[in-house]
């Protein structure tokens, strides 16, 4: 019985960076970085699946050893949430799956030891889900009638004195399948893992993002 699978959702219709998921990042197509990351943790992950609507992504994913799920067109649109792709993938699997590890291909770089540490936190506390987050170090504000109004600080306040605020960084999610079936990725009984690493900002949506990740890859070869 399979208990834990990695699911990598990869649509083919990127508009801001066409062909993003199969674009070469270093020596590998972008999606292959997440596939190989999952494969390196085969003591944790029983099987790796890529769900996609793209024949090109499907072919490359299978070339690198992932199993693929054909995602229907009706759940492959620009505004479709990831959860529907996860639900569809689960419905197509013949085995019983207990835990889902979501790896987004647009976050191809992950710090050493992230997954084992995250899984330990997830299982030891009997949590229903886990999300990776990063502390914000920026000064945010709003524009009101053309004026900048600080949101998370007061004018003149030092950055190191900011109230701790955190954001999802997209590197890793773990969820029990019972949540996914209900359409929920992060449950009420979730836990977090805080990532203080340059890779936490390696999220690719645009060409500029891609070039930044290329820079990080060259300087963090491991």
| Secondary structure (DSSP) of 182-218 | TT-SS-TTEEEEE--SGGGG---SSHHHHHHHHHHHH
- What confidence score (pLDDT) does residue 181 get? 95
Please check whether residue 69 is in contact with residue 92, taking contact to mean a CB–CB distance below 8 angstroms: yes
Q: What pLDDT was estimated at residue 1?
A: 67
Q: Would you say the pTM of this structure is higher than 0.85? A: yes
pLDDT for position 215? 95
Q: Give pLDDT, residue 138.
A: 87
Cβ contact 136:166 at 8 Å = yes
Contact 133, 167 (CB under 8 A): yes
Query: Does residue 113 contact residue 173 with C-beta atoms inside 8 Å?
Result: no
Residue for token digits 């900002």?
201
Domain boundaries of the chain, sorted by first residue:
4-134+168-219
pLDDT in tens, the chain (222 residues): 679 999 999 999 788 898 999 999 999 999 999 999 999 999 999 999 999 999 999 999 999 999 999 999 898 888 889 999 999 999 999 778 999 999 999 999 999 999 999 999 999 988 999 999 999 888 899 999 999 999 888 888 888 888 889 999 999 999 999 999 999 999 999 999 999 999 999 999 999 999 999 999 998 865
β-bridge mates for residue 40, sequence order: none
Rounded to 5 degrees, φ, ψ at 167 are -135, 150
What is the enclosing helix (H) or strand (E) of 108? none
Strand partners of residue 29: 24
Task: Check residue 80 and give its pLDDT.
Answer: 87
Q: 44 near 119, Cβ under 8 Å?
A: yes
Is the domain defined by 4-134+168-219 classed in CATH 3.40.50.2300?
no
């Amino acid at each position: 019985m399979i208990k834990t699978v990695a699911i990598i959702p990869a649509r083919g219709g990127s508009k801001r960076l066409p062909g993003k998921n199969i674009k070469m990042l270093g020596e590998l197509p972008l999606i292959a970085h997440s596939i190989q990351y999952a494969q390196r943790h085969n003591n944790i992950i029983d099987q790796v699946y890529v769900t996609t609507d793209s024949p090109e992504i499907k072919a490359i994913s299978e070339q690198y050893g992932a199993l693929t799920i054909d995602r229907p067109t009706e759940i492959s649109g620009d505004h479709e949430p990831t959860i529907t792709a996860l639900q569809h993938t689960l419905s197509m699997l013949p085995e019983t799956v207990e835990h889902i590890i979501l790896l987004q291909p647009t976050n191809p770089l992950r710090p050493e030891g992230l997954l084992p540490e995250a899984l330990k936190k997830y299982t030891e506390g009997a949590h229903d889900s886990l999300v990776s987050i990063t502390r914000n170090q920026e000064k945010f504000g709003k524009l009101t009638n053309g004026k900048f109004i600080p949101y998370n600080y007061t004018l003149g306040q030092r950055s190191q004195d900011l109230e701790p605020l955190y954001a999802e960084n997209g590197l890793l999610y773990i969820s029990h399948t019972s949540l996914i079936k209900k359409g929920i990725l992060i449950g009420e009984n979730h836990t977090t893992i805080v990532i203080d690493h340059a890779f936490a900002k390696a999220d690719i949506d645009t060409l500029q993002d891609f070039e930044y990740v290329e820079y990080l890859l060259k300087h963090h070869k491991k």
